[in-house]
Amino acid sequence: MYFALWLIAVVLVIAGIVTAIRGRVLYGIVLIIVGLLIGPGGVSIFHVHRHHHNNGAAVIAPR
């Protein structure tokens, strides 16, 4: 799953750069941001870390 997210992120960022160069700058920026969000080190929508506090309640927190 990690490799698939990384690959999708790379494709999105490259597509965003090409799109921005071709003149659709706003759409290119959106693609780049989405690619950075789902890539490694980004905010993955498929992977959530859970932190437990002293009372045992689970809290969903970003990576």
CB 5 within 8 A of CB 39: yes
Q: Domain residues for 6?
A: 2-61
Mean pLDDT of the region 35-63:
61
In this predicted structure, what is the pLDDT of residue 52? 47
- Alpha-carbon distance of 28 to 26, in angstroms, equals 5
What's the domain count of the chain?
1
Q: What is the band of 19 on the pLDDT scale with cuts at 50, 70, 90? A: very high
Token pair 């990576």: residue: 63
Predicted TM-score (pTM) of the model is: 0.64
Written as six digits, the tokens of 22 are 């071709």
Q: Mean pLDDT throughout 3-29?
A: 93
What is d(CA 47, CA 59) in angstroms, rounded to the nearest whole number?
14
Query: Which runs of consecutive H residues, i.e. helices, occur in 1-63?
Result: 2-21, 25-38
Dihedral of CA 44/46/50/2: which sign?
negative
